[in-house]
Amino acid sequence: MRCSKLHRIPVLTLLILLTSIVSAHAWSFITSQFSAPFNQCQTCHVSNSNLAMNPYGDDYLDPSHRSKYANKHPAIAVTGDCNNCHSGKGYPIVRSGLGAMDSDRDLFTNQAEFNAGTFPGDATDFPADTDAPTITAFSLPATSSTLTVAISGFTATDDVGVTGYMLNESGVDPAAGDAGWSAIPPTQYTFAVAGINTLYAWAKDAAGNVSAAASAQVDTTASQGRVNEPPVASAGTDQAVVEGETVTLDGGGSSDDLGIFNYAWLQLDGPGGAALDANDPSAVVISDPFDIQISFITPSVGVNGTILTFQLTVTDGDGAQDSTEVRITVDDNGITDFDGMPGVISTYSADGQPIGIGNTGANACTRFVVLGTQDVAGGWQQPRDAIYGFIDFALKVTDPASTSITIYLPSPAPVGYKWYKYTDANGWFDFSRDLISNGSGDGADFNADRTQVTIYITDNGEFDDDPTPLVISDPGGLAAGLSSSISVGSNSFGSSGGGCFIEASTDHTQLFRSVKTIAAPLFVFLAAGCLLLPARRQME
């Protein structure tokens, strides 16, 4: 019996052919195999018996596929088996570029439907909506002369669509079925009594998901003809610190008969003076000048030190204001290691060694706190031999495209020492930039002589410890390794030994690489042993 032509094709050639077909067209989350329900005709067709294209099928078709489809299905009435072409046996079931589209216009993208197991070409089949709306804007005027207050803006978004809006003064989250929901955003609200009133807002969708609350305040006491008492500002007491120290100023002691609406901090060129020029060597970067509490790092000073003056202005709901000043005396810290380096502020590490903070560019450090090993989390998994202790810093972001801070060391970091970072989710882990982002994104990177380490963190990214937009927070430090490690180089387990180790973190890619490093030689050894077994038996 003669073999078919298919049998004459070498197996390796078939594998290469199939691999090239699948890899050329497969979508990111579907490779060579497809499971129910997407191994049916109705993924792209009206039904398994009516092979007219559904909306997803129409979007899917391209010229090359049209010819393949026409050859397989010469007539609409002819049924076929999708597995002839799909499920990894030929042309894949999805095509690059369709993920962000909503072919059947059911308000879910094609990718969302594939992920949920619903058909992207059937508007009646869509994922269960479990995501609540998000309120994107809600505001009231600062004051109102009547109890009926105009709502300046009330908007919300949802992955499917917002169907209801709710306002109340209680702050208790409403249920989707409660009375009082409006199909359109309300444009005004009438309060029951005068005063500094807080109004809460919610949005819901058709599935009954209710958003988190948003709130805003308005002072309606003017409606009662009240005589306003002006506020009294308090910025706390004067302080004496050294250069490089983080200072906190608190306006919480300010008061008003009904409440303060706004806080504004300003650095002056002296007591009772004007605003200090930002290019002045004594100028600092304030964390948030409109917050009740602010922080900043004191600048480099000469041997005679300097005095910084800050003004706090508070405003009540009627627009009445009061201002006060506070003075910070800054003394020289005695560090000369970084003299002559523009923009570098010096301070001491937890064990008394001088370190520098790069505070130039669009993004500036507003908090830099040094910590000893007893002050940080991690316990038994804490990094070993943190020679400068640990650092907790906050970075004020004004240029999101370039978010980094450079730390200057008094001597080159020892070979093998890396920058370790801590997060509540991952614990301590190696934050080397080449490991975290292949050298082009987040992570820590040393300069050529290892006297500087630059830490890159994306604002509100995976490694930013502060959820506030345009604020980056990060704890970390230079260390020899993690206390919980497997030392591959010395084949020893535990805290001793050098060489590579498996970080105790959720970085599964690095874990796989480390395991592979151990497993590969073991596999070669076992394979060699297996090859020798027949020879040994023959000799016996």
Q: What is the 3-state secondary structure (H, E, C) of 15-31?
A: HHHHHHHHHHHCCCCCC
Cβ-defined contacts of 410-414 (< 8 Å, 24+): 410/337, 410/353, 410/354, 410/355, 411/451, 412/449, 412/450, 412/451, 413/446, 413/450, 413/451, 413/453, 413/478, 414/387, 414/480
pLDDT on residue 519? 38
pLDDT on residue 54? 83
> What are the residue boundaries of the structural domains of the chain, listed by start?
9-116, 134-224, 239-331, 344-506
Pick the CATH number of 239-331 from 2.60.40.10, 3.40.50.300, 3.20.20.105, 3.40.50.970: 2.60.40.10
pLDDT on residue 243? 92
Quickly list DSSP for 517-533: HHHHHHHHHHHHHHHHH
Establish whether domains 134-224 and 239-331 are of one fold. yes
Alpha-carbon gap, residue 62 to 82, rounded angstroms: 17
Quickly count: other Cβ atoms within 10 Å of residue 69's Cβ: 20
- What is the number of residues in the chain? 540
Which of 157, 394, 191, 183 lies closest to 288, judged by CA?
Answer: 394
Q: Is 410 helix (H, G, I), strand (E, B) or coil?
A: coil
Tell me which CATH code domain 134-224 carries: 2.60.40.10
> Mind listing the pLDDT tens digit of every residue in the chain (540 residues)?
444 333 444 443 333 333 333 333 333 333 334 556 776 677 778 887 777 888 877 777 655 555 555 665 555 444 444 544 544 333 444 555 677 777 888 777 777 777 778 888 888 888 888 889 999 999 999 888 889 999 988 999 987 789 999 999 998 999 999 999 999 999 999 998 888 899 999 999 988 999 999 999 998 887 777 677 899 999 999 999 999 999 999 999 999 887 788 999 999 999 999 999 988 889 998 989 999 999 999 988 989 999 999 999 999 877 889 999 999 999 999 999 888 888 888 999 888 899 998 865 566 888 888 887 777 766 557 888 888 988 888 888 777 766 888 999 999 999 999 999 988 777 888 999 999 998 888 999 999 999 999 999 888 888 887 777 788 877 889 999 886 543 322 222 222 222 222 233 333 333 323 333 333 343 333 334 433 333 333 333
- HEC string for 448-513: CCCCEEEEECCCCCCCCCCCCCCEEEEEEEEECEECCEEECCCCEEECCCCCCCCCCCCCHHHHHH
pLDDT on residue 362? 60
Take residue 95 and report the two structure tokens written for it: 């095509």
pLDDT on residue 469? 79
Quickly list DSSP for 305-361: -EEEEEEEEEEETTS-EEEEEEEEEEE-----TTTT-TTEEEEE-TTS-EEEEE--S
What are phi and psi for residue 43, nearest 5 degrees? -60, -45
pLDDT on residue 11? 40
